[in-house]
Structure 1
Amino acid sequence: MPLKFSANVSMIFTEEKDLLQRYRSAKQVGFKGVECVFPYDVPTEKLSAVRKELGIEQTLINTYMGNRQKKEMGFAAIPGKEKEFQDSLELSIKYCKALGCKCLHIMSGKIPDHEESQKADLLKQMEDTYIKNLTDAVPRLEKEGILALIEPMNTKISFPNYFMNTIDLAVRVIDKVGHRNLKLQFDFFHVQIMHGNLTKNFKDNFKHVGYIQVSQPPHRGEPDSGGEIDYNYIFAFLEEMGYNGWIGAEYTPTGKSEDSFKWFDKFKV
């Protein structure tokens, strides 16, 4: 089955300051889907109107992350922030429904400053909070037709102190929540940095995978830029595995956005 790709308009087409114009640029390149890290600065009515006009699918958004100046990255695993998580979830549902978006990446938040002697207790408390919040949120999302996703994101280069940072943690949380509507967002960039051994990690966890993202480590460039991953091999592997979900192109172009799509040409339909 042909692979289908979605353009991350938070990271690509940043030559355009207007998010709505980035949707248009993605359509012009040939993408049938778009994903967005932070759509919340634009009213739902405007985003919905341009998406419908273009006939492009909104494949993914992230939950509202909080104050970006303070570098907040969500609330789902932060003890004492349960109200903030509930509020962020309801706002995210509002945007998903307006955009017809079927996938929501639930941001865990970062590990608060702590004494090293307190780390084990803090991590246990955060995991318990995360599981409780997800246990409540996942059925709520299912009723709205929205798939809940959690994504291990690397703490070695990109997001120091981010709580949800390994596949082992993600799978443990998924198993403890125990709901069919909670899946793994498998980002090859993050998994390469934290784990390596990409194809085995993907095969071992394929039953949990609900969404994929790609970019080139270590600089998060387009898939065919210089780096650590042979995406010709990876894309052939995903076809062989029979993966039929969306693949988010979540990269920072190494040059102009318009020059970063040679890798995508053979996948256009």
Structure 2
Amino acid sequence: MQRRTALKTLTGTALTLPALTNSFASSMTSSESTAPLLKGRINHAVCRWCYSKIPLDDLCKAAKDMGIVGIDLTGPKEWPTLKKYGLTCSMPQGAGKGILEGFNDLKLHDELVASYEAIFPQLKEAGLKSVICFSGNRRGMSDEQGMENCAVGLKRLMSSAEKHGVTMIMELLNSKVDHKDYMCDHSAWGVELCKKVGSENFKLLYDIYHMQIMEGDIIRTIRNNYQYFGHYHTGGNPGRNEIDETQELYYPAIMKAIVDTGYKGFVAQEFIPKRDPLTSLKESIAICDV
């Protein structure tokens, strides 16, 4: 499954999940459901596209009951629904041209700049502080040239981002399995780009699943580069499924490393459930609540 498919519509509706179970249906009507007592050291969130088969209202209700405070990768039309349930959009989308076409292409800069400048006021009005962006694919371009191009385009937006109190967050994705040819595929490349842009309003989305595939050494990378990471995503490897004992990453230790850096942002679950989706989501929150 590819998230790029979901991002084409900027609302994440194209992926399929297992059919909702009777237990899910009953949980939606239960009046006894209450949010669990969480430790409060992690701001838990969930990515909308992984649960696209569940109506947004129902996902919001379930998320609220689990102690989740935000839903990632939703656009302006969905933000009022989140607000209705006391949730926030923890990683907004709605600008740019998706994963494949990004800031490494100089020919796209005018269009990209206009797109992000249009959404900045909407983000500010909604009380949101970030927005996702992408490097784009290499298409034969060197990483060095791509970095220079990205820096040129992003610098054009920094004064406006700062004015609106918005941080642009570029996602690190793997180019080995899921996003062939994607340029921002190593944390070192992304960190160097942050240094070139030179603004606190540009950071990276450190996706643990993707970076485990590309480079591993997750905890050391977080400890050494946390100042450049503005958001985190989870996912089990291999397979991008549940983050439990069926995969190779030990998330309690990773979450503790994140907390120990002083991070106050969101950690969003971004895995494809193989079992009942809401049961798996609830289990993932318990695993990550350190």
The answer to whether the 8 Å contact 1:105/1:148 transfers is yes
The answer to whether the 8 Å contact 1:20/1:47 transfers is no
User: Is 1:47 the equivalent of 2:93?
Assistant: no
CA shift, 1:267, in A, is: 6.5
Label 1:198 to 1:227 Cα distance change in 2 as closer, same or farther (>3 A).
Answer: same
Aligned to 2:68: 31
Aligned to 1:216: 236
How many angstroms apart in 2 are the aligned matches of 1:51 and 1:182?
Answer: 25
Aligned to 2:110: 83
Q: Deviations over 1:148-173 (max 9, x none)?
A: 22222110111001111111111111
User: Is 1:265 the equivalent of 2:286?
Assistant: yes
Residue segments in structure 2 that go unaligned for 5+ positions in a row: 1-39
| Partner-residue secondary structure (3-state), 1:242 | coil
* AA at the equivalent of 1:2: R
| Partner-residue secondary structure (3-state), 1:10 | helix
The answer to whether the 8 Å contact 2:170/2:205 transfers is yes
Residue segments in structure 1 that go unaligned for 5+ positions in a row: none
The answer to whether the 8 Å contact 1:79/1:126 transfers is no
The answer to whether the 8 Å contact 1:149/1:183 transfers is yes
RMSD, aligned α-carbons: 2.4
CA shift, 1:63, in A, is: 5.2
CA shift, 1:98, in A, is: 5.0
CA shift, 1:7, in A, is: 1.1
One of 230, 235, 241 as aligned partner of 2:250: 230
Label 1:53 to 1:62 Cα distance change in 2 as closer, same or farther (>3 A).
Answer: closer
User: Is 1:22 the equivalent of 2:74?
Assistant: no
| Partner-residue secondary structure (3-state), 1:179 | coil
Aligned to 1:4: 43
The answer to whether the 8 Å contact 1:79/1:129 transfers is yes
How many angstroms apart in 1 are the aligned matches of 2:68 and 2:187?
Answer: 29
Q: Deviations over 1:178-222 (max 9, x none)?
A: 112222221111111111111111111022222111111121123
How many angstroms apart in 1 are the aligned matches of 2:44 and 2:205?
Answer: 15
How many angstroms apart in 1 are the aligned matches of 2:228 and 2:270?
Answer: 20
Give the alignment's TM-score, normalised by structure 2. 0.77
Label 1:225 to 1:62 Cα distance change in 2 as closer, same or farther (>3 A).
Answer: farther
* AA at the equivalent of 2:152: K
Aligned to 2:19: none
Aligned to 2:7: none
Aligned to 1:156: 176
Please give the residue correspondences for 1:1-269 in structure 2 after superposition, counting only pairs within 5 Å.
Answer: 2-11=41-50, 13-16=51-54, 18-36=55-73, 39-40=74-75, 44=76, 46-62=77-93, 64-66=95-97, 73-93=100-120, 95-97=122-124, 99-112=126-139, 114=140, 119-120=141-142, 123-224=143-244, 226-260=246-280, 261-265=282-286
* AA at the equivalent of 1:129: N
How many angstroms apart in 2 are the aligned matches of 1:23 and 1:91?
Answer: 27
Give the alignment's TM-score, normalised by structure 1. 0.83
The answer to whether the 8 Å contact 1:150/1:183 transfers is yes
How many angstroms apart in 2 are the aligned matches of 1:206 and 1:104?
Answer: 18
The answer to whether the 8 Å contact 1:62/1:92 transfers is no
The answer to whether the 8 Å contact 1:63/1:106 transfers is no
* AA at the equivalent of 2:44: F
| Partner-residue secondary structure (3-state), 1:133 | helix
How many angstroms apart in 1 are the aligned matches of 2:117 and 2:53?
Answer: 31
CA shift, 1:56, in A, is: 0.7
| Partner-residue secondary structure (3-state), 1:80 | helix
How many angstroms apart in 2 are the aligned matches of 1:80 and 1:147?
Answer: 23
The answer to whether the 8 Å contact 1:58/1:99 transfers is no
How many angstroms apart in 1 are the aligned matches of 2:120 and 2:56?
Answer: 20
